[in-house]
Structure 1
Amino acid sequence: MDAMLQQMIDREAIRACLARLARGEDRRSAELIRQCWWPDARFDYGVHSGDVAAYLAWVVPGAREIRDTQHMLGQTHMELSGETATAETHVFSHHRIDTAEGARDTCVGGRYLDRFEMRADSAGTREWRIAERIMMYDWSQDWGRAADWSQGIMGYPFSGAHFAGTAISDFSEHWFSTVTGEHA
């Protein structure tokens, strides 16, 4: 029973790391992203690859033309082996891109292939983080011209400016700190 409980704890820690990374990417937060990668980790997205410094330079602050992103994670298949784990996580990512003709909405479907390692961080706390990531692309779609939702949706106006989320200065950051008394 102890081994099964430890596997459940490890799996949840890996899922939390994946969600924290997606949240950090959507907010272009170097702090959140850095918490998910070991300093010597490597990535290969097919269109860009390298170490963690290269990843941060690519994602934070991100391309000026990519105004907003949203990563939605699907199922994760994991295989644990001591202090290493492999994981395949389905991802659906939306990107709002500014072009000369106006904003466009695009999306990509694929899978992250991650190798996680359980190690001690600089403070000595043992945790799961990504040691290697490969992005597999299954499909992409250009949805065309983006709707302007800044003033409301489906004909209904927003009651406050904070309802139209953005990658930077997202209201959820403020919300978490006021509800929990901590910064998420």
Structure 2
Amino acid sequence: MSVDAEALQDLIDKEAIRTLISAYCNAADRHDHVKMRSLYHEDAIDDHGAMSSGPAMDFIDRLPEIQASMEILHHNVTTINIAIDGDYAEGEVYLLALHRVKGPDGPFDVLVGGRYFDKYERRDGKWKFAHRAIVADWANIHSPSIVDLNHPFLTGAHIGKPGLADPSYDFFRLLGRGA
């Protein structure tokens, strides 16, 4: 059986991009701004609508303020469509993202179903975001929040938290902060 070098390289590149996409979700959910910064090229653009639109590094600089009211962030990617042309690639990435937000009248939940429109570039052998835009296809809002982490069903379970308080930092050796 002969190996098709071009098909193998395509597979390697797509896996590198899928790893990048997953790393973004982890960085967002854990409020890991160092890791988030490492996923974008310095001149990249990020379009999160009214939240932030422009240079990705400006968006990342604003993340502590943006995420301050978010008690829970939980990004999940589903369908990933990637097309590659040399050192340039595009991706349409479907996502489900739950946000539990502290509001003036108590916490509320926002579940967004949408897509990321991505442009990736490989520079110095590494794939990173060159441009990322979020598209909301639907949203489900619950006010007040219906998230109940104190339910008896969860007794004794580890509970995820943003930042260094998340139990993953004590559990993993290879998947640490900024990694």
Q: Which residue does the alignment assign to 2:155? A: 158
- Which stretches in structure 2 are left out of the alignment for 5+ residues? none
Answering whether residue 170 of structure 2 is matched by residue 170 of structure 1, we say no
TM-score, scaled to structure 2: 0.88
Distance 1:72 1:175 in 2: 21
Letter in 2 for 1:174: D
Q: What residue is the counterpart of 1:31 in the other structure?
A: 34
2:109 equivalent among 81, 105, 108: 105
1:119-138 equivalences under 5 Å are 119-120=123-124, 126-138=125-137
- In the TM superposition, what is the alpha-carbon distance from 1:156 to its structure 2 partner? 3.2
| 1:70-99 C-alpha deviation (Å, 9 max, x unpaired) | 000011111100000000000111000112
What is the TM-score of this pair, normalised by structure 1?
A: 0.86
* Number of residue equivalences: 172
Structure 1 range deviating more: 28-37 or 9-18: 28-37
Percent identity between the two aligned chains:
25
**Does the Cα contact within 8 Å between 1:112 and 1:135 map onto a contact in 2?**
yes
Partner of 2:83: 79
Q: Considering only aligned residues, what root-mean-square deviation do their CA atoms show, in Å? A: 1.7
Displacement, 1:130? 0.5
Query: Which of these residues, 3, 13, 16, is aligned with residue 16 of structure 2?
Result: 13
Distance 1:61 1:174, change over 3 A: farther
Aligned-partner SS, 1:23: helix
**Counterpart contact for 1:28–1:62, Cα < 8 Å:** no
Shift of 1:45: 1.9
Which ranges in structure 1 are unaligned for 5 or more consecutive residues? Answer: 121-125
Structure 1 residues 99 and 139, CA, compared in 2 at 3 Å: closer, same or farther?
same
Contact 1:114/1:134 (<8 A) preserved:
yes
